[in-house]
Amino acid sequence: MGFLEGIGSLKMKDDLEKICRASYEGKRSREALMEQLAWGLSRSASWRESYSSLLVLEALALTGSKELWKECSVGAHFDVTQRLVLFGHFTSKEDPRVTRMIRAKASEVRDLVTDRYRAAEESIRKYGSPRLIPAPKRNGFYRGRGASPPASSSSSSSVSECSPVGARTRKGYSSTLGEEPSRLQNFPVVWCRPANAVL
């Protein structure tokens, strides 16, 4: 049935308490929790898993850590509000009762999550933003403020080289003709202007 068994049971209440406590433990536990919720709130999950995820999200909105909601409000995890809006339009082919149940729960949880987002954003404005703002990644290395890509040992992978034979494509594969493409790690993208281009 998913990571919760028996909707409304004592075991479920214990599970929800453990999950809410895990949201206070640290960044890694919050990441694992939100990763599981992202899967549970995806289109590929069954309706039972989705409903269980909605229940977990409701419990987190009521008693979860403020840090979790600060991270969500700055985009460290998936967009919770967007997923809840999508579940507001959920349709079950099997049973219309399931459709009503999921839509009603998604609407309730969306209101709670919106309130938590507002509180988190107000806290960020008042006390400053958390350090957990994700930076965009590209080709396996961090490109944040003032961060530079790691130095490469190969002379053919220099950023300053702009020969069409040694240039790299957007995904980091070699563009040399007749060569088998091999994945290059930690290689910055090289954009070259053709020699005959007019500016």
What global pTM score does this model have? 0.58
- Model confidence over 70-120: pLDDT tens digits? 888 777 888 888 888 888 888 888 889 999 999 999 999 999 988 888 887
DSSP 157: G
And the tokens for 97?
């009762």
Architecture of 10-127 per CATH? Alpha Horseshoe (1.25)
Domains in the chain: boundaries: 10-127, 154-189
Please return the burial class of 131, using the count of CB atoms within 10 Å of its CB with bins 0-12, 13-18 and 19+: exposed
The per-residue pLDDT for 56 is: 92
